[in-house]
Amino acid sequence: MRAGIVHVTDGDTVVVHSLDGRDLGRVRVLGAKAPETGRPGCHAEEATATRAELLEDQPVTLTVE
């Protein structure tokens, strides 16, 4: 299914909508290694910001495993 990333919640989780605007929920990005948010000194905020810069507003194809 084709979709678009509308928000990056942390370094390995994104919120996606279908191309017709339906909310498809939170999706885990496979293969993405990122620190968990809320841990002091682990650079999670930087990882989230970088991932957002790269992924927000980008089209993706979702598959079920």
Range of the domain at 55: 2-61
53: left (phi over 0), alpha (psi -120 to 50) or beta: alpha
Number of domains in the chain: 1
So what's the pLDDT on residue 24? 94
So what's the pLDDT on residue 34? 79
So what's the pLDDT on residue 16? 95
Does the structure show a pLDDT above 90 at 26?
A: yes
Does the structure show a pLDDT above 80 at 36?
A: no
Q: pTM (2 decimals)?
A: 0.78
Does the structure show a pLDDT above 80 at 58?
A: yes
d(CA 27, CA 61): 12
